[in-house]
Amino acid sequence: MPPTRRQLTRDDLAPLARAATGRALTDVTRLRGGTRKGVYRLVLDAGTTVVAYVWSPDEDYWDAAPADPRDPFSAGSGVEVFTAAHDRLVTAGVRTPRLLHADTTGNAVVVEDMRGGSLEEALERDPAAGWAALQRLAGELATLHAQEGPAFGKVGLVGSGGTSSSPSAARRITEGALRHIEQAAVRDERIAGVRGELEATVRRLAAAVRPRERHTLIHGELGPDHVLLDDRGRPALIDIDSLMYFDAEWEHVFLRIRFRERYDVLRAPAGTLDEDRMRLYRLAMHLSLVAGPLRLIEGGFPDPVGMREIAEANLVRVLELVRR
């Protein structure tokens, strides 16, 4: 049975609201958010709103083992990871909601509330405005990817002089893909039926990837739901916990999956991406989007139908790629 999880109440969040804003808290709404943290809109007595991110075991649907801080894909998240990512984006000139308060004791932060909705909603609600925001996002993405780091890993770790425990970014993706095959195979018989073929394909694609020393700043999970708009329609990146120095190909594989036909607006200039990496990372990403959602369902995620749909859509792509 999935674990019982407790959501925070107004009484729980009132001290955080007071510390962040000096105002009394009048109402709380839990927002759709990440799988590792709770996201709450706080309504203050002045009628204004802010947003709180709270990290706790009750908010983590992965129920993961303790994180390896040297692994850029580790489950590690929280105030320090978030603030390091926020500060790096601000330094780079990439818009993200302003950080108003960080509470290391309570493992929570309070940020600016952006009320323009998500880019995903805007593209459906008002295609013209959504398209303009998408074009602005392309500029933000170019600024983000112009930043480079001395090693690959989460920005807080690299910024403090640390390095990843894996020998290369491509090797880390290969290890993850093989692990995701194993995890998915015990949860879906279709993956189990082609497990050997999948593992051989991952190893073959990995063998074609040439070494690289360049490490690009990427968001890591940049879909249209991870972009909010301000009251002037300008985009800001959210769910920034995965911000890292890595291969730009990993970002573009995810962008292509999530933005579909609109990806052309965000496409990298011709010749800047390595096609061998793209082939490996494409299969690895789809495998991750099968294994991850299937695990989340077991952890009691509140939208199991949505997670099942994500897993199924990506499973179909995995089977298509392995049969080519």
Mean pLDDT, all residues of the chain? 91
Which tokens in the block code for residue 236?
A: 């800001």
Give dist(CA 298, CA 236) in Å, integer.
32
The model's pLDDT over 203-234, given as tens digits with 9 standing for 90+, comes to 999 999 999 888 999 999 999 999 999 989 99
Give dist(CA 240, CA 256) in Å, integer.
19
- Higher pLDDT: 67 or 46? It is 46
pLDDT value at residue 70: 52
Give dist(CA 159, CA 150) in Å, integer.
9
Same fold, 10-112 and 119-322: no
Give dist(CA 39, CA 186) in Å, integer.
32
Band the pLDDT of 51: cuts 50, 70, 90.
very high
Its pTM stands at 0.92
pLDDT value at residue 67: 54
Q: Where are the domains of the chain?
A: 10-112, 119-322
Residue 4 CB neighbour total at 10 angstroms: 7
User: Is residue 304 a contact partner of residue 297, using CB atoms and an 8 Å limit?
Assistant: yes
Q: Domain 10-112 carries which CATH code?
A: 3.30.200.20
Fold observed for domain 119-322: Aminoglycoside 3'-phosphotransferase; Chain: A, domain 2 (3.90.1200)
